[in-house]
Every structure is written in C-alpha cells, then in structure tokens.
Structure 1
C-alpha cells in the first residue's frame, strides 16, 4: 500500500511537470520486490513509460520467499522478451539517455546510482534510505544541467519519501574531499526559492514603476523604446519564468501560494504579450518558442495550448496573415507603421547582399516615411498605408520597371539592377545592356554545379568564361570600350552577386 501511494504521487508529479518534455527521472526503490511493484503500478496505469533495472544477485532486503519468487519471475520474463538481461539493460539505458521519448523513468535499487551519466536525468525519487558516499553519488546523478529542446533543465530535483535529508550533512563530513559542485544546492531552502521568485516578479514591476496607465500596452511599448530598458525587461522576464517554473515543481507550492498564483499567471501572460510586441516593434527576433513548454504548464488556467502556441510562435513577415495579426494587436497606427517598418528593415538587412540596389532603395524609402511621421509631416494613418505597400513590394520584389526579357527569366533582375550604373556610365543603350545581362546569366547557369559556390575550380572557370565574353563579345563584337580595371571590377561584382544568390543556379 505504501509503494502504491508513493507511485501515485510520483505519477502526478512527473506527469504535471516533466511528461513529454524530454527530461527523465529515476526511482530508487527499497528492494527489488518494491521495484517490481512500482513497475507493475506504472504498467497498469499506462501513463508513463518506465523500466526496471536491477541486478541478478540475491537481494538481502527481500527476506520473504514470496518476494524472491516474484523477482525471479520478473527477471525470467525479461530474459524471455529480450534474449538476455544484459541486452535489456543496454536498450533501456540507451532509450533513457538519448531519446526525447522512450523510457521516461528508470526504477532501480542499487544499480545506476554511481557512474551513470545521463544529463536528461532530472528528478530522483527516493523511497529508500541512502547513506554516505552512495547518497552523494545519487544526488550527483541529477545535478547536471542540460540544454533540452523542449524544457531547459535548470536544476535537478530530489523528492524524498524516506529520511535522506538528514543524511546529507553526515555524508559531506565523512567525505570531505568530495566534489562540492556535484551536490551543491542539494538542500534548497524552499523559502529562499520563493523569495527569488518574488524578487524577479518585483523587478519587472519596478522597471515599469513610472508608468501610470498600466492597462495600456502602448505605453509600455513606448517606454521600452530604450534598448537598455528592453534588455532589463527581457532578462527579468526570463528570470521570472524560470523561477516560477521551478517553484511549480516544488511540493505544496501550488497549495500554499494559491492566492498569488493567479496574479503571477495573469501578469506573466500580459508581460509575454508585451515582450512579443516589443520584439516586433524594435526589429528583434520574435521567436519565443523556448518558453512554450514552461508556459503551457504555468498558464493552463488563462490560455489553452493553442493560446500558448500563438503567444510563443515566431512572427515571420513572410507569413502575411500571421504578421498582419501580430501588427493589428499593437493598437495605434503609429506603432503599427513602426512595427511594419522595423520588421521590413530586418528583412532588408538579412537580404541586402542578395540584391543591394533593390533593398537599399526601399530601406531609404522606409527611413524617409518614418522620419516624416515622427516629425508630424505625415499622418500616422498615411504612414501606415505607405508602409504596408512598401512591405508588400519588398516581399514580392516589386516597385521597379523591368524589361520583359528580364521579367521572364527568374533571377536575372538581380544582375540587371546591380550592374546597370556601371554599364550606363559607358553609354551602353538599354537593349544592348539587357542582352549582356542575359548572356552573363546564361554563362552562370551553364557553369554552375551542385555546391559550385564552394568549389574554387568551378568558380575560376566561370570567371574565365565571363572574362572571355567581356573581351571577345562585349568589347570586340559590340564595340564597347572596356579597360582591364572595369572588366575586373564587373567580374568581381557578378561573382559576388552570384555567390550570394547561388540557389538561382542549381
């Protein structure tokens, strides 16, 4: 009955905080028979994938002959299903250590408490008294940080169903040469952890202390225009999320602090929305998916899983509907215009090397519109209208008058725009210039192979072919006066554009 009560508590705790996160746990049972009872409970319930790893030696803790028989039967079942126990243990450990899914909890008695390194191992459920070096080794198993994809491991947790807490000091005194970092923080004062939570919560509110109308998100966004304040806000919010998530894992936290939890959750949702809007407005990466698993567990009363998905989903300007929805949530026309400008400029910055002439032109247009709006020379609604048009032009590469031959050949527009000034300086007529661009584009197409941009020999051949074309055809046949410096400069520009747009030629 005691084992079943402990198993129910473990199931509840693990399911609420770690199920499907990729983080794992160990149960230390008082005997092999108890380990099998744990396993039978979890198998019957079917909520958590567990496995028993016990030795094949006689167990001094199981004096009852009936218990010994049950252990033998279980080990025989393992041999039957897995050919031998060694292979079974190897498969279990592999699944536990390296898979996000697979075995979630390993149930042990003495094995895997020393020398077992599994960074995913996050929780140690102790239903057995451990002493001295064995206790310190067991603690060290979960006290390793781990960069987990779904839910970062910021601490290890020990849930003690026995009396191990009083044994730690004794163990530390006996083994004075033991690495303190392995067991540092093993005994955490719960009040200190809660104090950290309240401090991180208070820091966010202190930052916004001068804001009078706290119900208007627009005021927060204008306040966060200062980069230093934004960085402070982001850091404080990260600390608050981490501390709140860690406190939720502590036993009895939800029950004892139920009066404050509603307030924490409500403010967390509000601050996450402000963070997302600020990131959108100030040209920053808007990917908040790292918080998704933590927020699903914390915000369950205020938003459903879909709500958390929307709150943490990266906003991408190329996803028009998603971007439009995010912008509409900002409120004023001014903020909407600035957000579109900011994110469009970020796209321009990322794509600038691919087509400098095109993107530089639109970057200047955006700066002019926003400057006029801020000086009051352009109405906010008109600035918003113009920014929407520019954003569409940038995404679809519209806004300039291209010859039909260039329009009909995808990618040739890049070279048409960026070589034009140099050839116009030589007095080359547009129809002749178009034919030159198409010829150069054809040379690039014919010379490119897979990963050509990384292959020096292929690039050298392409350069030589373009060089021959400029000398023999452009200078010789078309009679355009090209000197060696011009040819070298134009080839350098062509190759740089081609490498920055290498995917056009595959």
Structure 2
C-alpha cells in the first residue's frame, strides 16, 4: 500500500516551495543566497539583486522631456540607508523606520546639470508589481545577535532582495503544530535572536499542511489571525496551481542538495491529482506577489509607536469594497454606506487604514471623522496620529468650517455636535466638492433623523461612510439603504469563530431584597402630593420601583459583597500571592450610587476600586428631578482632586490599564463605549441598559488577552430575560434580526449544562481500571500516549466548565451538595494524577495557559493539605534536583517509569550526536520497562538497572571504548559508527574514526554546516578514505560519509 510521508520537508516545506515558484517566485538555494550576501550570515539583504532593481525601477523626472538616473553613489547610499537601521530606540521603532523607507522611499540629494535637489528613491515599484523581482529561499541561515550560533527560518520571501516575509513550516502530526511554529517565530525575535532579519519582515506565516495562521512582527500568539476567502473560483485557481508541474530546471534546482528518494516521493505524489490544502490557500491568498504588495503597502500600521499590526481579512475586504464603491459616482456624488464590524474586531483601525488609503488614492481629499463622544473623538484622533496620518482636531464649529472651506487636503476629527454646528453655520453656502468624505463612528444613527436633511443640503456631494460595532436595528437597516446600504458586515459569531474576540458568558444574579410594597407606595404618594396627576405618572415612570430599589444602601451593600466575593474567588490573589492580571468594571445608574459602591467596596476590603465619572456640575448621570449633584458626590469629587490632582480620572484609567490597582472601575456612562482594555474580564451590571448602549457596554469584556477564555456579564438588574413587570423590565431584542445577534452571549447555565457529560467522558477513560483504589493502575493505563493526550484534553475541558460552575450562584444554590462534592473530589484526584503523569512520562505540555486557572479552582473550591503545582521538569543532569523530585513520586513502579521517561527524553534530545550509543541505551530502557510491565523483573531491579543507564547517558561512556580514544569525545561517535558496520574490520575502526576527525577539523570553518561546498568536500574525502584504504563499495562509502557529516554537524561547531 502506498502511504504519504509525514516528514516536515515532504509534507509542508517542499510543497510550499513548489507552490511559491508557481506563484512567481524564483527559487534560490541556500548556497546561492550565501554567495549573494558575500557569505556573511549576519547580513540579510541580497545586495546584488537590490542594487540592480534600484537602477531599474528608479528614474528622476527632470522635465517633461528629460529623465535622469540616480548616480552609482546614491544607489549605494540607498542600500546603506536600508542596512544602517539602529536598534537603540527599540525593535518596533527600527521596524517602523524600515517600513516607512520601503513604502515611502528614501530622499537623496543629487546634482543634475549643476542643480542640486532632493529626489525620492523607491525600493519597490508599488504601482507596477511586475517590475519587481520575487525570490524564495529555504533554511536561511542568520547569525544570532551576540553569538556565533545561527537560526534558520524555513522559508524567506524576498522582494527586490529585501526579506519581507518569513514562513515556518511544521509537520501536521505533531501536537499543536501552529503553536510550535509561532513559538519559533517568537524565539527568533528575542533580543539574542535574529531581529536584524525580522525588522524587514512585514508578513509572518506559520503553516502545517492542514492549518495555518498569519501575523506581522512582534505579535503575541493569541493575536495571530485566520484568513478566510472562500470562493469556487479561488479553489479552482489554487487546484490548477498545485497540480502544475515545475519545469525541469526548477526541479533540478530544488532537489539539488536533497536525497534522491525525497524527489521520488514528490514525483509519485504528482502522478495523481493533488487536493488543495489550507497551507496552499494561505500561500495563495497572502503571498502571491500582487496581494502581498497590497497587504504591505496599505494594510500594515504602527499603533501608538509600540505595536505593529497587519489587517485581518474582514478589514482588508471591507476597505477594498469601500475604495471600489467610492470610485463610482452618480450625479456627481460618490456612493457611501454602512460598515458593521462587531466591537473588538478592530473597527477604529479599519477607519484609520481606510482614511490612509483614501488619502493616498483620491486626489485632494477632505476626510472628516465624526464621533458622538469627546473620549471617542480623542481615541480616534490618537489612532490616526499613531498611524502617521496627519490629523486636525476641530474643537469648535468655526474651526471645522474653516477646515472644510480650505482648499488643501486634510483629515479632520470632530464630535457630532460640533459637526452639526458647522453644518448649521454653512447654511445656504453648500460645499459641493465630491472629494469630501464623512466617516461617522457609532454616531451614524444621528444622521438618520432630521439632521440628515441638513447634511445633504450643506454637503450635497459628500460621501458618507458610517461605521458601527453593534448590529443595526430593523428600522435602521431600511434607512441605511439611503446612504448606499450595508457595505460589509462582520458579525459577532464570525468574530468569535475567528478568535478576534472571546465569547461572552451571561449570568443573572439578582439580589434578594424584601420590599414593603404598601409602605413604598405610601411614601411615593406623600412625596408626589403637590404634583398634578400627569406629573405623578411621569415621576412614577421615571422612578420605577426597580430604580428606587437598586439605589437602597442595603441592596448596594449586598451586591458589593457579592461582587467582592465573586471577583476575588475567580480573579483575585491566589494562595501564593499571585494575581490573575484581569480587571473588572461595575456599571451603576448615577454618580451618587457609584460613590456608595466605592465606599461599600472599601469597607468590605477585598477588592480595590475607583470611580470614573465626569465632574458633578455636568449633570451627567443625575436622576434627581432637580438635576443637582448630591453633597456626597461633590465631597467625593473634591476629595479626589485634593488627593490626585485635577485630571485624576486620566491617571486612574492609566493605572487601571498599566498596573495591578485598581482591580475594579466603577462607571456610570463614561467608558461604556470606546474604552478598550483587553484585561477587563468581567462587567457587573447594576443599572438598566438599553439597545445599542447595552451591546456596546457588554463588548468591553470581549477583547482578546492571554489566558482569557471568556468575558463575563454579571447582571444584577435583569437587563436580559424574564423580569417582574413591576420592575419596568428592559425590553427584549425584538428590534434586531436574530442572525445579527447570534453569538452575542451565552447564558452561563447553557455552558454549565455540559458539566455532567464532560464528567462522564472523563471517568469513561478509566472504566477498564480494575482496582479503582490503586494509583499505579491508572498510571499503567496512561502508558499509552494516545490515551494520555485524550485524558489531558478531557480533564482541561472538565476543569474549565467546573470553574465556570463554581462562579455561578445558580449552580451553587440548585446543585445538590453531594454532586458538588463528587465533582470536587474527582477534580482534585484528576489534577494530581495529571501532574504525576506529566512528570512520569516527561510530556511536553504548554501549562502556562492553564495552570493559574486550575490552581485558582483548587485554592477556592477544593480543600487540600498541600498546594498542587505543575512545575518545569528537572533535567537528569542536575542529579540532586532530580533525586529530590524522584522522592515525591509515589510508588516504586512510578519511580521506575519516571527515571525511564526522563532518561529517554535526554537521549532523544541528543540522539544525533552519537546515534549508535544512544540507540543502544534507548533499546535497553525500552527492554527494561517492557520487562517491568510484563512482571518479568521486580520494581527494585528495574530502578537499579535504569539508574545505571541514566548514569551512562549522562557520562556518555561505556566499557567498550579503547584507551587510545577514551579521552577524545568527538572521535568516540565515529568509532561506534564504524564498529556497528560489518564492512569495516576491527583493525580499521580506530584509524577510521581518527581520520574522520582530522578531515572535519581540516575543512571546517565558521558556520560550515550551512555551506554545501564544504560539506561536499568533507563527504568526498571521508568516502575516498573508505574506498581507497578499506575497499568499501561506493554506495556504502557515500552512506557512511553522510552519517559522519550528520554527527559532525552537532559536535563540531
């Protein structure tokens, strides 16, 4: 039966190199690349290619009839400028300088006919992509910073000799191949890595045949993105491409330094039709020359000077749709429309990238960004400035009118009331330019009213583009058609599926409070006696019982206590004093109530909190009928000003984002929209929220952050679901289409309902364990790696939902104590078993993602005499530490398994250094464990035998090494290799080993293992010695020489 190979080269790297050539890249072997950079592995630019391209794509327009070329000196200056990028200001700052240089060009002075002027040299021809040259290489060896060692990215893509994309390939049968590939990119970008390569790269890919992800440099793992672009046309194009055959020349070059059998396997695969893989799709969608240039030029940006970002697919397609749409004019007016991209998916950056694209695409544009809040206006302004788009902030209507009437192009930000003032001021003098673009953020609903008529009169030809992060109501959808309809939609469900946001879990936790209804009504009648019947109805409507109840101090104290317990149990300090790093927000109805919550939290003393609100004289959030702030609020405000200064809210928000304190922010309206802090994991809702305000508010918890699996909405007001009519229930979402709201949140009960099944599935793994009281019986079952992997996964799923359950008041109140105790007992046992098994079998587990959450669950809900922790495994080289760890292992058999697995891991990591020696040791370990499991030897015998093997693995010595070479560690592996082959007689084993050592030493130079010509020389002379001195056949000599080279690569550095 013919079966495919799972070797990384065969299954991922070679297919990628083949497809990239079919897409238009010219393959360069590692040897050719080394020659192009003068064999300097610290250099990453292919200078001869860049030099040639700078001459070909650049010219100077002297006059309408005369052209000139850049001088040779300036060509060299341009190359040197690209190379001489200082790292003093940081990695991202250096990357930004390079990005600006390759996208905008480099200004260079040159004299033409005696006239010295500055001219811009371009490194890439952005207008005509076919004028550039595209190359691909593999195993690109780059010297590390501060070291003679090298890292070798699998694939590097060059445009005009500049390395603009780096790809890591992984075989799909390893655990979490994409995570491993991302980890390799991350390692390469460390200070002691190869940052001097990555500062040029704009696009990073991690591919593994069936999976792929992409990012740009300095992107954390959780922000690596998926790309979706499915269409029958695309699939057909890719299918045709992968089934094309490379030319004979391309094949010969690709397989020049590869084994013959590798080429044979690829050719056998190509005899039948090949299916399109996910890897193929990503390479086509992101790396084909025209697309990659578009991504780099228009869809990479630097946010705040410290973060570099590349567009997600929905941003890319939405912007391109808009640019295409605004080119079309009807009656002198460009087409506009509405973009709905769910909150948290990068809507502000989409606007920033769009404004930049319009700015560069449309001649003399005037771009106006309109928001509905001052803080949103500030955020948008900062976003634009951070992406290097010049921005004017119009703070008054007059200022905005001046900017609109000026003839220069401009990007202007303003808030909606200033925009209205400007429109009113312009009145009967309309601005008829069709190059005015109005981008409206979350304020587009304002334009659906009478104000829209005024806008149309004053800006009759302007293009209106509205952006929203919340679903459109049914009535808004019909009105949106007047502005060109919905241009693009990226729903909540899509964002959750893509990992752009985290799913939101909703839980209603209503405070129990006895209300004397008659007394309450009598009190109301007394207060409202002076009012007319109409005023009484109006007052009663405004001050519903729910509103009164929600502000009573008794209820505030009760909820504050519940919030304190809920937050500390789930995200507060653990037993070792470590913090989760996650924050919370408390939403209150008004300033007076916010201050009361603050005092309640301080009195309880479990969590730190601060209040964020506008100054008391703004009347914001006051529900008192006279609109005056209470003395308590004024006193609090003055106290904060004395303590922290006038702009204390700015400092508190900064502290909330950057430090551990405060843990909770208490808010009214401010920060419910436009506030972006990924560490906010929970929102406690203690007031009614409606429609878009509700949807915007709950989105504060959906941002992605490391270790954050959900965002939580804890509802004390009944904002969703069935509520008592007497409490003036919040209306449901009938105004929205069901499909648009899909995925907004999941009721916590829905998730907890999965717990019994997860518990059953976890227990089912061990159903065949005969003695349920014997830990060794469980461990014996888990000797099978496939069962272990299944166990780890099912345990983590069970633990995740169990943690969720114990955070729920409904679970606590309605689940029988017996069931809860059973879950706790089983969780504790399986947690201890997991740690024991990981240590026993030396399994590689990315525990950083999970351990804090598991520990929190143990700390809060499971009583245990000793804190159970998973730590990094100790190396057997550290004898004392290993023996100490071994003492903790329960049971002699488990000790034997631990010694065996840890020694086997040590051997596996070093196998290629001395394959004969380590292979023999590995077989002896397997034999010992096999005898132990079959009860052919006792636990004690196994432990003693394994300890001896462990000592041999550490010392790398054995009794069969002759005295003549005993002290030469580098010669010994060659001696063992010779002894293992019958065609080398005993008389020649030592001379052979010594000769190989001399050949390697004679021809090795710095980084010799990456230079094919050096390797060929060594292989030739080793083979020649075998043939001439020992009369070995050519085939066996070649095979033996190759094995020697592989050993030498690891031992002669």
User: What TM-score comes out, normalization by structure 1 length?
Assistant: 0.75
Matched, 1:251 2:809: yes
Matched, 1:265 2:815: no
Q: 1:157 aligns with which of 705, 712, 734?
A: 712
CA–CA distance in 2 between the matches of 1:106 and 1:348?
53
CA–CA distance in 1 between the matches of 2:766 and 2:828?
16
Matched, 1:91 2:654: yes
Q: 1:176 aligns with which of 729, 733, 737?
A: 737
The Cα shift of 1:464 comes to: 7.5
Matched, 1:397 2:952: no
- Matched with 2:571 is 18
- Matched with 1:299 is 858
Task: Give the 3 Å change call, closer, same or farther, for CA 376–118 of structure 1 in structure 2.
Answer: same
CA–CA distance in 2 between the matches of 1:106 and 1:442?
66
Structure 1 counterpart SS, 2:809 = coil
- Matched with 1:105 is 664
RMSD: 4.4
What is the total number of aligned residue pairs between the two structures? Answer: 477
Task: Give the 3 Å change call, closer, same or farther, for CA 427–357 of structure 1 in structure 2.
Answer: closer
Matched, 1:313 2:871: yes
Q: 2:1006 aligns with which of 448, 471, 475?
A: 448
Matched, 1:64 2:643: no
- Matched with 2:523 is none
Task: Give the 3 Å change call, closer, same or farther, for CA 224–35 of structure 1 in structure 2.
Answer: same
271-280 vs 371-380, which deviates more? 371-380
Task: Give the 3 Å change call, closer, same or farther, for CA 25–322 of structure 1 in structure 2.
Answer: farther
The Cα shift of 1:144 comes to: 5.2
Check whether the contact 1:440–1:466 (CA below 8 A) recurs between aligned residues: yes
1:380-405 CA distances to partner (integer Å, 9 max, x unpaired)? 54333212211232234233554667
The Cα shift of 1:53 comes to: 3.5
The Cα shift of 1:125 comes to: 0.9
Matched, 1:234 2:234: no
Structure 1: state its 5+ residue gaps: none
CA–CA distance in 2 between the matches of 1:85 and 1:411?
66
Check whether the contact 2:610–2:665 (CA below 8 A) recurs between aligned residues: yes
- Matched with 2:398 is none
Check whether the contact 1:33–1:71 (CA below 8 A) recurs between aligned residues: no
CA–CA distance in 1 between the matches of 2:801 and 2:590?
35
Task: Give the 3 Å change call, closer, same or farther, for CA 400–287 of structure 1 in structure 2.
Answer: farther
Task: Give the 3 Å change call, closer, same or farther, for CA 414–225 of structure 1 in structure 2.
Answer: closer
The Cα shift of 1:9 comes to: 2.9
Check whether the contact 2:971–2:993 (CA below 8 A) recurs between aligned residues: no
Structure 2 counterpart SS, 1:172 = coil
Structure 2 counterpart SS, 1:106 = strand
CA–CA distance in 2 between the matches of 1:25 and 1:419?
67
CA–CA distance in 2 between the matches of 1:326 and 1:215?
22
Check whether the contact 2:608–2:664 (CA below 8 A) recurs between aligned residues: yes
Task: Give the 3 Å change call, closer, same or farther, for CA 302–8 of structure 1 in structure 2.
Answer: closer
Q: 2:696 aligns with which of 125, 128, 137?
A: 137
65-74 vs 116-125, which deviates more? 65-74
CA–CA distance in 2 between the matches of 1:231 and 1:423?
42
The Cα shift of 1:66 comes to: 2.0
Q: 1:73 aligns with which of 624, 628, 638?
A: 638
Structure 1 counterpart SS, 2:682 = strand
Check whether the contact 1:49–1:104 (CA below 8 A) recurs between aligned residues: yes
The Cα shift of 1:255 comes to: 6.0
462-471 vs 354-363, which deviates more? 462-471
Check whether the contact 1:423–1:433 (CA below 8 A) recurs between aligned residues: no
Structure 2 counterpart SS, 1:158 = strand
Task: Give the 3 Å change call, closer, same or farther, for CA 373–182 of structure 1 in structure 2.
Answer: closer
- Higher strand proportion: 2
CA–CA distance in 2 between the matches of 1:226 and 1:434?
40
Check whether the contact 1:144–1:155 (CA below 8 A) recurs between aligned residues: no
Check whether the contact 2:683–2:713 (CA below 8 A) recurs between aligned residues: yes
Structure 2 counterpart SS, 1:388 = helix
Please identify the structure whose Cα radius of gyration is greater.
2
Task: Give the 3 Å change call, closer, same or farther, for CA 359–175 of structure 1 in structure 2.
Answer: same
The Cα shift of 1:268 comes to: 1.9
Structure 2: state its 5+ residue gaps: 1-552, 573-578, 623-627, 724-728
CA–CA distance in 2 between the matches of 1:104 and 1:417?
63
- Matched with 1:497 is 1047
CA–CA distance in 1 between the matches of 2:775 and 2:997?
52
Check whether the contact 1:315–1:323 (CA below 8 A) recurs between aligned residues: no
CA–CA distance in 2 between the matches of 1:410 and 1:106?
63
Q: 1:9 aligns with which of 562, 578, 595?
A: 562
Task: Give the 3 Å change call, closer, same or farther, for CA 113–443 of structure 1 in structure 2.
Answer: farther
Task: Give the 3 Å change call, closer, same or farther, for CA 421–124 of structure 1 in structure 2.
Answer: same
1:247-267 CA distances to partner (integer Å, 9 max, x unpaired)? 111126446654443333222
Task: Give the 3 Å change call, closer, same or farther, for CA 412–59 of structure 1 in structure 2.
Answer: farther
Check whether the contact 2:840–2:898 (CA below 8 A) recurs between aligned residues: yes
- Higher helix proportion: 1
Check whether the contact 1:131–1:171 (CA below 8 A) recurs between aligned residues: no
CA–CA distance in 2 between the matches of 1:76 and 1:178?
47
- Matched with 1:222 is 780
- Matched with 2:457 is none
- Matched with 2:111 is none
CA–CA distance in 2 between the matches of 1:261 and 1:381?
41
Matched, 1:202 2:760: yes
CA–CA distance in 2 between the matches of 1:423 and 1:116?
74
Check whether the contact 1:276–1:286 (CA below 8 A) recurs between aligned residues: no
Task: Give the 3 Å change call, closer, same or farther, for CA 368–231 of structure 1 in structure 2.
Answer: closer
- Matched with 2:683 is 124
CA–CA distance in 2 between the matches of 1:93 and 1:35?
17
Check whether the contact 2:896–2:939 (CA below 8 A) recurs between aligned residues: yes
CA–CA distance in 1 between the matches of 2:739 and 2:643?
37
The Cα shift of 1:379 comes to: 4.7
Task: Give the 3 Å change call, closer, same or farther, for CA 123–468 of structure 1 in structure 2.
Answer: same
Matched, 1:331 2:891: yes
Structure with larger RCO (C-alpha < 8 A, sep 6+): 1
